[in-house]
Homo-oligomer: A and B are copies of this chain.
Amino acid sequence: MHMTIKEIAQLAGVSSAAVSRYLNGGYVSEEKKEQIKKVIDETGYQPSAQARILRTKKACLVGVVVPKINSESISRVTAGIEQVLSARGYQMLLASTDNDPEKEVTYLKLFENYPVDGIILIGTVITAEHRKFLKNSKVPVVVVGQYTKYANCIYHDDYGAGKAMGKAVAESLINSETEKEDGCAKNRACGKEAGFCGKVAYIGVTKEDKAVGVAREDGFRAGLRSAGIELEENCTRKAEFTMESGYSAALDLLEKNRDISILSCATDTIAAGAIEALLTYSRKQVPEGAKNSGGRMQYILDNSGIRVTGFGDNQFLKAVTGGIPTVHFGYKTSGIRGAELLLDVIERGEKIPVEIKLGFRMVNGQEEEEN
């Protein structure tokens, strides 16, 4: 039944204003309080948040636009957001765009005209449409995961993380070379000065994603380059943010390049696909599983000896495989800071723009890092 405040007032023999006050803690005599409470209990009346918001312009709600729902990193961000939101009396609504930038704008506009007090966008690609929205939005927006000058933003040091990973990969290549000592000069294609055994391959994502597609990959290349290694173009693929896509890319890479030694992926999800590809690729032989010789970067998935690395520190992957070299970003922290930033402008009208860059931490796989 769709009761209105007026009907309740009538049943209780008071004015609608009295009921409104009762609901919102205004002045109302004990006597009338009783009557009103009775009627409300009997009818199960619930005020229309909709009408209330139209009046008060306050929903205690924030909308979060996410690229996809089934993602550990995104769920960490939303967990952070939810944590501060609920602590401060807000609720969170999610809209998933399934990696469709067009849908993203649609949902941003939906939230803008729907009763939410603010919006958090977990960013992937920022198009002109996005920028236009950010500039003109009626409600405050903060973007998490991408840099933008058109809104408060919190992003990760993707370049630094990429570079660190590139260096670690290069180092491990050199080490494995040293350990093996069976000099494979014919395979030194990637090593400019030293004779490395095997190449490094990289599965990236669209350049339209400035954080993951550009910064992370540029950093990775820079890291390799600092050790004198150049990523070969035919050892490079582009994938979607899915396991399936990582699988295809890796398989293609593996088939066309017999001398790949390390397969680095732009995300742990893609890496999972790559791992699947390795399993497929060497199915004929009995896999040896994860070989751990106590050092760093020692994750070996199968007897092909090809190592896979990722980004994102996916716990599921770590659990079932023992872990691959990856980097941990402060996803939950970015959610927390993002929500705080948003509430600052919602509640305190904070006007000065903020950009926050969050660091990272290398995770070497197999063995927990000690610090």
Hey, which bits of chain A sit against chain B, CB under 8 A? 1-2, 44, 46-51, 53-54, 61, 68-72, 74-75, 78-79, 82, 91-96, 98, 106-107, 109-110, 112-115, 136, 138, 243, 247, 269, 272-273, 275-276, 279, 286-292, 302, 315-322
User: Contact between B286 and A289 (Cβ–Cβ < 8 Å)?
Assistant: yes
Give Cα A107 to B92, complex, Å.
Answer: 9
Query: Which of A1, A110, A291, A302 has most B Cβ within 10 Å?
Result: A110
> Closest CB of chain B to A307's CB: distance in Å?
14
Q: Smallest CB-CB separation from A275: which chain B residue?
A: B320
Does A93 lie within 8 Å of B94, measured CB to CB? yes
Return the contact of A72 from the options B51, B70, B286, B290 (Cβ within 8 A): B70
Are A48's CB and B113's CB within 8 A?
yes
The listed residue (B75, B93, B288) touching A289 by CB distance below 8 A is B288
Specify which of B48, B243, B292 is in contact with A316 (CB 8 Å cutoff).
B243
Whether A2 lies near B138 (C-beta < 8 A) is: yes
Q: Which residues of B contact A71 (CB under 8 A)?
A: 70
- Contact with A95, one of B44, B72, B94, B273 (Cβ below 8 angstroms): B94
Q: Known contacts A49-B113, A69-B78: does B276 contact A320 (CB below 8 Å)?
A: yes
Q: List 8 A-B contacts (CB under 8 A).
A: A48-B54, A49-B114, A50-B114, A54-B54, A91-B107, A114-B115, A286-B288, A286-B291
B69 touches A75 (CB 8 A): yes
Residue ID in chain B nearest A78 by CB atoms:
B69
- Chain B residue numbers with a CB within 8 Å of A74 are 69-70
Which of A61, A113, A291 lies at the interface centre, i.e. has the most chain B CB atoms within 10 A of its CB? Answer: A113
Complex CA–CA separation, A54 to B287 (angstroms): 62
Q: Which of B50, B93, B109 contacts A53 (CB 8 A)?
A: B50
Given contact pairs A115-B115, A275-B320, a sample of 9 additional A-B residue pairs in the complex whose CB atoms are under 8 Å apart: A1-B138, A50-B114, A69-B70, A70-B71, A91-B106, A91-B110, A276-B320, A316-B316, A316-B317
From residue A157, how far is it (CB to closest CB) to chain B in Å?
24
Closest to A114 in B: B49
- CB closest chain-B residue, reference A135: B44
Task: With both chains docked as a complex, state the minimum distance between the C-beta of A99 and any C-beta of chain B, in angstroms.
Answer: 12
CB contacts (< 8 Å) of A290 on chain B: these are 279, 287, 289
Given known contacts A289-B288, A322-B279, is B82 in contact with A98 (CB within 8 Å)?
yes
